[in-house]
Amino acid sequence: MDTQEVTLTPEDRKQLEDELALLEGDKRSEIIAQLQEARGFGDLSENAEYDAAKEAQSQNEARINEIRHLLATAKVVENRRGAKSIAIGSTVELVDEKGTAQTYTLAGTTHTDSLQNKISNESPLGAALIGHVAGDTVSFETPSGKTRSLTVKRINR
């Protein structure tokens, strides 16, 4: 893992804590049961079920370690109720030059989701939005190198 600071919302932190509890509890127990069952199939050197269970165990433990590290080192930003400027956790309505509106939620570093329009605070648009208020026009460079300008219509927390 890199040393870049990770930023989480309280909701992100809760989601990671819930995932960690699942991985350390039910998922770990399920994998142990699979390992025990696979051992009963005989020779471990030619046992595909055992190999698959060991791989699942390795992946599960790696994710547990990753989440523990995130929870121990991440900066949690609180939602500032009534704040007028855009920050992590804000939901913003943006309007482009053609008048088309799009709504985005500015998420922490690790919880982006394009299907839910959650963008990272480190993305070009996310970084450009931070600190702006309704009425501001924000310009940013897209990954393709084009410059886009969007106007902040509304900010919700």
7 Rama sector, left if φ>0, alpha if ψ -120 to 50, beta otherwise: beta
Rounded to whole angstroms, the Cα distance separating 105 from 123 reads 12
Rounded to whole angstroms, the Cα distance separating 145 from 124 reads 11
CA torsion through residues 91, 96, 102, 105, sign? negative
H-only helix segments in the chain: 10-22, 28-39, 48-73, 124-129
Q: Find, among 84, 88, 55, the residue nearest to 74 by Cα.
A: 88
Domain ranges of the chain: 7-76, 90-156
What CATH number is given for 7-76 in this structure?
Answer: 1.10.287.180
Helix (H, G, I), strand (E, B) or coil at 106: strand
Is the pLDDT assigned to residue 78 strictly greater than 80? no
Structure tokens at 157: 């927390």
Structure tokens at 88: 């992590």
Helix (H, G, I), strand (E, B) or coil at 32: helix
Is the pLDDT assigned to residue 1 strictly greater than 50? no
Q: What is the pLDDT of residues 10-32, one digit of tens each?
A: 888 999 999 999 999 999 999 99
Q: What is the pLDDT of residues 85-137, one digit of tens each?
A: 898 889 999 999 999 999 999 988 777 888 999 999 889 999 999 999 999 99
Taking the whole predicted model, whether its pTM rises above 0.85 is answered as no
Fold of 90-156: Chitinase A; domain 3 (3.10.50)
Longest Cα–Cα distance of the chain, Å, equals 69
Q: Find, among 89, 105, 72, 71, the residue nearest to 11 by Cα.
A: 89
| pLDDT score recorded for residue 81 | 58
Is the pLDDT assigned to residue 77 strictly greater than 50? yes
